């Protein structure tokens, strides 16, 4: 099992650690210290050695940070974690509603003029620090070594997992070609080098994968890409032993990174939204010009090539077969009323692992019965584990990491007989999911331009959901990757090859949650009508929708047609991939609507 269901929160450990931190602050002459959740690579998952926020406060959410002063210990968390933080931290800590309250104004309010606040310059980006400085001009923000690391006695070792080559059959492009392509971008921009600090950018560029953190098959490293396509790579060299040497890649120990920065010729491209503050500070100290510009791998990585898309298709059929086995099992077992959320999540991982190709799950499974389904980022633990009761909805959001692709799927299932309200809400969510699935649209549009399509049916009923409609997804990389999103907040133009989730939802607190999620990939649409240049989405996910939850009379004809067509494809693609017992279930689940 990759997932565990332990309740890691232990509020009692926080206060003595907080006292030790304040002690260290006093010794360092600091009035405050920042403790982010992020590591040096700004990802969603961090290694145990980087769980500083959880170690100090007890809070284990995937986003947030703490700001410690002599008097206060604010733990900043967003809407997803408002309840969780209260259960996980001791009274010595004060939960702060973020981003409603931002760090800068909070520091300005709680610290006198001229206060000195330390931060680890490797854990914060330039954008973060300059945002705080702007909002709290009377507070001095001082880069310092990490005070947590000073007091954390039994801190785990940093990750050191072996690196594996990601074969060109799956990556679709040789690393040398990628490097030449990106180096040309630098050259055209007059940039001598680019600093890469995001693990998935480096893994994509070098066609490598690793196991340095859970869920995301990435390698922890920093890299410098030069405008002649050479790469200097900084990590733990022994991790790379299984790979043969590459004359264009010079491998160094972590320690060599800073001195390598000193010797660069400028201008050097640095991403102020993702690179550690320490990188550009070091470059500037050495008198080297910095060009603020996006990490040059992000957009090319987002636009998957045909081999990557084919890998994603293959991974999704394998994953879809496991989901069908799981759903068939669930339909047999759940109505008895004895399953729990953990039992279901465990069974699902077992079905996925049965392919012998599962490298990891792509994130901790969200397995929520009844009211737990309404907690958007619910992670079931032994403390919260709930019976799956007939008459309720069960929401399961999960995914797998396979060598050929990353999956992410949500299905909401009626256990026993659903109510009319369940069906009305499910149908409106489904109409939104279909609206994106069938959308054709002119090239040049961004996620912002399409987001309303996914919400219109819910809006009409006075309902909505408090999250984006979709996020970018990597190809055997992070299940959340940018820059594209289906979101009111995203102005990034959609381009062929971009993979997105399509996951509208509806959540009724203390009652039920509904989310339906397929992955889709942007493609040039087949010519139709007289439109000049349209894009549309190919669906990657093939798993039945729960027909018992669909109010057929509420659907438009194109919606009914899409469901029947989709179920026909699901059946055709998966029938030969599942067990006999699951096949019978699959055939029934994919019958035409009427």
Site for its own copies, rule CB under 8 A: 435, 438-442, 445, 448-453, 455-456, 459-464, 488, 508, 525, 527-531, 534, 553-559
| CA-based nearest residue to 40, from 294, 256, 278 | 278
**Phi–psi pair at 560, nearest 5 degrees:** -60, -45
Shortest gap between Cβ of 533 and its own copies (angstroms)?
Answer: 10
Task: Give Cβ neighbours of residue 547 (< 8 Å, ≥ 6 apart).
Answer: 589, 591, 593
Task: Give Cβ neighbours of residue 345 (< 8 Å, ≥ 6 apart).
Answer: 3, 5, 365, 367, 380, 396, 398
**Nearer residue to its own copies within complex by CB, 461 or 593:** 461
**Nearer residue to its own copies within complex by CB, 83 or 552:** 552
Shortest gap between Cβ of 554 and its own copies (angstroms)?
Answer: 6
CB 57 within 8 A of CB 74: no
**Alpha carbon distances (Å) from 457 to 307, 350, 447, 454:** 36, 36, 18, 8
- Lookup: tokens for 526: 């087949």
Question: What is the dihedral angle through the alpha carbons of 174, 313, 496, 450, rounded to the nearest 10 degrees?
Answer: -150
| CA-based nearest residue to 400, from 543, 201, 588, 197 | 543
**Nearer residue to its own copies within complex by CB, 44 or 449:** 449
**Nearer residue to its own copies within complex by CB, 123 or 374:** 374
**Nearer residue to its own copies within complex by CB, 558 or 587:** 558
**Nearer residue to its own copies within complex by CB, 37 or 455:** 455
Shortest gap between Cβ of 552 and its own copies (angstroms)?
Answer: 10
CB 215 within 8 A of CB 401: yes
**Alpha carbon distance 257, 201 (integer Å):** 17
Shortest gap between Cβ of 258 and its own copies (angstroms)?
Answer: 42
**Nearer residue to its own copies within complex by CB, 305 or 534:** 534
Shortest gap between Cβ of 125 and its own copies (angstroms)?
Answer: 27
**Alpha carbon distance 301, 305 (integer Å):** 9
Shortest gap between Cβ of 567 and its own copies (angstroms)?
Answer: 20
**Nearer residue to its own copies within complex by CB, 257 or 426:** 426
Distance of CA 446 to the CA centre of its chain: 20
Contacts of 13-19 with CB under 8 Å at 24 or more apart are 13/58, 14/56, 14/57, 14/58, 14/89, 14/90, 14/92, 14/93, 15/90, 15/92, 17/55, 17/56, 17/151, 18/56, 18/68, 18/73, 18/92, 18/93
| CA-based nearest residue to 453, from 374, 394, 393, 536 | 536
Shortest gap between Cβ of 369 and its own copies (angstroms)?
Answer: 21
**Nearer residue to its own copies within complex by CB, 284 or 527:** 527
**Alpha carbon distance 196, 436 (integer Å):** 34
Shortest gap between Cβ of 536 and its own copies (angstroms)?
Answer: 9
Shortest gap between Cβ of 373 and its own copies (angstroms)?
Answer: 16
């Amino acid at each position: 099992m990759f997932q565990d269901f332990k309740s890691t929160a232990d509020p009692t450990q926080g206060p003595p650690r907080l006292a030790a931190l304040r002690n260290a602050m006093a010794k360092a002459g600091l009035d405050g210290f920042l403790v982010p959740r992020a590591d040096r690579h700004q990802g969603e998952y961090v290694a145990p050695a980087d769980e500083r926020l959880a170690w100090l406060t007890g809070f284990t959410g995937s986003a947030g940070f703490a700001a410690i002063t002599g008097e206060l210990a604010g733990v900043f968390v967003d809407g997803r974690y408002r309840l969780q933080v209260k259960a996980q931290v001791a009274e010595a800590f004060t939960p702060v509603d973020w981003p409603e309250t931002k760090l800068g104004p909070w520091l300005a309010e709680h610290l006198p003029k001229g206060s000195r606040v330390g931060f680890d310059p490797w854990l914060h980006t330039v954008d973060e620090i300059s945002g705080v400085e702007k909002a709290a001009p009377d507070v001095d923000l001082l880069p310092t070594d990490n005070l947590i690391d000073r007091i954390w006695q039994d801190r785990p070792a940093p990750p050191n997992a072996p690196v594996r080559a990601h074969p060109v059959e799956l990556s679709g492009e040789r690393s040398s070609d990628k490097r030449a392509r990106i180096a040309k971008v630098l050259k055209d921009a007059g940039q001598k080098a680019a600093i890469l600090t995001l693990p998935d950018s480096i893994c994509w560029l070098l066609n490598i994968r690793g196991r340095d953190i859970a869920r995301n098959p990435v390698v922890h490293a920093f890299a410098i890409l030069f405008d002649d396509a050479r790469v200097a790579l900084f990590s733990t060299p022994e991790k790379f032993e299984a790979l043969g040497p590459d004359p264009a890649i010079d491998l160094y120990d972590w320690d060599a990174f800073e001195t390598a920065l000193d010797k660069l010729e400028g201008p050097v491209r640095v991403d102020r939204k993702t690179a550690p503050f320490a990188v550009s500070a070091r470059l500037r100290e050495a008198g080297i010009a910095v060009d603020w510009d996006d990490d040059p791998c992000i957009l090319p990585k987002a636009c998957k090539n045909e081999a990557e898309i084919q890998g994603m298709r293959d991974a999704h059929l394998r994953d879809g077969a496991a989901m069908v086995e799981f759903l068939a099992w669930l339909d047999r077992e759940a109505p008895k009323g004895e399953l729990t959320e953990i039992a279901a999540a465990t069974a699902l991982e077992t079905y996925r692992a049965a392919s012998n190709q599962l490298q990891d799950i792509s994130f901790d499974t969200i397995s929520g019965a009844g009211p737990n389904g309404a907690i958007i980022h619910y992670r079931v633990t032994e403390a919260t584990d709930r019976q799956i009761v007939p008459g309720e909805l069960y929401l399961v959001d999960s995914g797998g990491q396979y060598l050929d692709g990353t999956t992410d799927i949500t299905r909401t299932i009626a256990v026993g007989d659903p109510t009319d309200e369940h069906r009305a809400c499910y149908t409106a969510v489904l109409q939104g999911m279909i609206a994106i699935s069938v959308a054709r649209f002119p090239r040049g549009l961004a996620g912002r331009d399409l987001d309303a399509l996914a919400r219109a049916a819910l809006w009409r009923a006075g309902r909505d959901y408090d999250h984006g409609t979709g996020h970018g997804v990597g190809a055997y990389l992070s299940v959340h990757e940018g820059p594209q999103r289906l979101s009111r907040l995203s102005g990034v133009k959609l381009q062929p090859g971009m993979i997105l989730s399509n996951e509208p939802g509806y959540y009724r607190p203390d009652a039920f949650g509904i989310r339906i999620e397929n992955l889709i990939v942007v493609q040039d649409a087949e010519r139709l009508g007289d439109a000049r240049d349209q894009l549309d989405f190919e669906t990657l996910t093939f798993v039945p929708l729960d027909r018992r939850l669909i109010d057929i009379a509420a659907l438009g004809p194109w919606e009914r047609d899409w469901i029947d067509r989709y179920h026909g494809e699901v059946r055709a693609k998966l029938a030969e991939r599942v067990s006999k017992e699951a096949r019978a279930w699959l055939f029934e689940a994919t019958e035409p609507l009427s």
